[in-house]
Amino acid sequence: MSTTAKAHGMDGTLVEPDWAPLALAEVRALLSQFPECGEPIEILSVSPRPFSAASVVATRGGRVFIKRHHRTVRDAERLLEEHRFLAHLLGAGAPAPRVFATASGETAIQTGEWTYEVHEAPEGVDLYEDALSWTPFRCVAHAHSAGQALARLHLASEGFAAARRKPRPLVASFTIFAAQDAGAEMDRYLAARPALAEDAAVRRACDQALELLAPFHAQLLPLLPALPELWTHNDLHASNLLWSDAGPEARATAIIDFGLADRTNAVHDLAHAIERNIVEWLVLVEGKQRSGIRDQGSESRLTGAADVPIHLDHLHALLAGYDSVRPLSNEEAAALAPMTALCHAEFALSEADYFLGVLHSEEKARLACEGWLVGHARWFRGAGGRRLLNAIEQWAVTRNRRPQKVGEQ
C-alpha cells in the first residue's frame, strides 16, 4: 500500500480510484464510536483495491484497518454476514482479523450512503501489498504455505451453518454450476440482478459461457454430492495473506479480506486459489490499449492467448501444502480440475453487476463479461487450459492418498 490514491485497474495498471480515499476527519468521527481504538493519529496507507476505500490507520490504541463501502455494495446487514463468519473463524482459532465493535456492540456502521467496518490490523508482513490478483507467488515455498493456510481456514470454518448470502455485487458464489440445469440456474441468477438481466450483451456472454463450460459442468455433476457445503473465502491470492517475514521461506500468518466469502465448498475455494495465483490472466488484456476497453486489435488476446503463463511448480506446491493439512477425499480431488474451469464464472458476473448497477460503466462490464467470463471459459477449452487441467488431474491421480476409514467417502 501507499498513501497515494491510486487503484488497481482492470488491465493491471494504476488508475484513479472510483471511491475517494478516507480522510482523517472522516476517520476521527467514525472512531469516536469505537472505544477500543482511540483517537486516530495518521492514515498510514491507502489500499489500491478498487471496490471500496480502505486504509491502515495509526490510533492511540494501535493500528486498525478501516473500510468504507457504498451501501449498494455492502449495507450493514450484508456486512454482518462477513463479520459473523469472521467471529466463528476466530473462535475456532483461525488467524483471521478481529472486527471492532462500538460501545453498543455494532460492527457495521451505516452513515448515509456509506457503510464502515473497523478491523484489527493482524501481525505480519504485508509482503504482497501492491500485488494484483492473477499475479504469481514469488516462490514455491510461499505457494506451499498459502495452501496450508487455506486448509486450516477450511477446518476452522466447519460448523458455521449460516445460509448462503443473498444477491449482492462482488460475491463469489457457486450456484449456477452447482445445479443440474446450469442454463435454468443462470436465468435465476440474472433475474435476481436486474442490472444484468436487462442487458442484452450480458445475456449473449452468458449463453456463450454456458456453451463453452458445458463439458466441465458435465464432468463435475456426478461429483457434486461428495462436496459438502462450507463457508469459504473465495479470494485467496498472495496479497490477501500476511507473512512471517520478507524472505523466500516466509510463512503465511493470517488471511484477510473476506468480502467475497459465501457458502460454497472447499473445492470451489481451492479452485479459486489456483485461478487467482497460478494463471497470469492479465496477459489476456495486453494489447494496443491498456485502458480496460476492448478494441478490434485486442479481441484475439481477450479470447485466445495461448501464451498466458501458467506456474505449475506453484500449483503443485499449493496443492501439496493444502493436502498436508486437510487431505482431499478422492472425489474432491477429482472435482478440482473441472471446478477450476468453472469457478470464475459467478464472480465475473458479480463484477459485471457491480460495474453496471453501481458504477454504471458499460465499458468495464463488457470486459468483465467478454474478457473474464467468456475469455477465461474459451481459454480453458484451448491448449493452455488443457495443460493446467491435465496437471491438476494428474495430481489427483498420483498424489499420496490417505487411508480412508470404513464408511468414509
Tens-place pLDDT, residues 79-129: 999 999 999 999 999 989 999 999 999 999 999 999 999 999 988 999 998
Asked whether residue 4 carries a pLDDT value surpassing 60, the answer given is no
Asked whether residue 249 carries a pLDDT value surpassing 90, the answer given is yes
Residue 190 cell numbers, joined: 440474472
Residue 239 cell numbers, joined: 496479497
99: closest CA among 113, 110, 85?
85
Tens-place pLDDT, residues 261-287: 999 999 999 999 999 999 998 887 663
User: Distance between CA atoms of 42 and 3, rounded to whole angstroms?
Assistant: 11
In the chain, the domains with their CATH numbers are 7-120 (3.30.200.20), 140-398 (3.90.1200)
**pLDDT value at residue 287:** 37
Q: Is 69 helix (H, G, I), strand (E, B) or coil?
A: strand
pLDDT band at residue 298 under the 50/70/90 scheme: very low
Contact of 269 with 232, CB cutoff 8 Å: yes
Asked whether residue 409 carries a pLDDT value surpassing 80, the answer given is no
**pLDDT value at residue 296:** 32
Q: Which amino acid is residue 284, in one-letter code?
A: L
User: Distance between CA atoms of 2 and 132, rounded to whole angstroms?
Assistant: 14
**pLDDT value at residue 46:** 92
Asked whether residue 5 carries a pLDDT value surpassing 90, the answer given is no
pTM for the model = 0.91
Tens-place pLDDT, residues 334-387: 999 999 999 999 999 999 999 999 999 999 999 999 989 999 999 999 999 999
| Of the listed ranges 11-25, 182-196, 322-336, the one predicted with least confidence | 11-25
**pLDDT value at residue 297:** 31
> Strand 62-70 and strand 114-120: pairing?
antiparallel
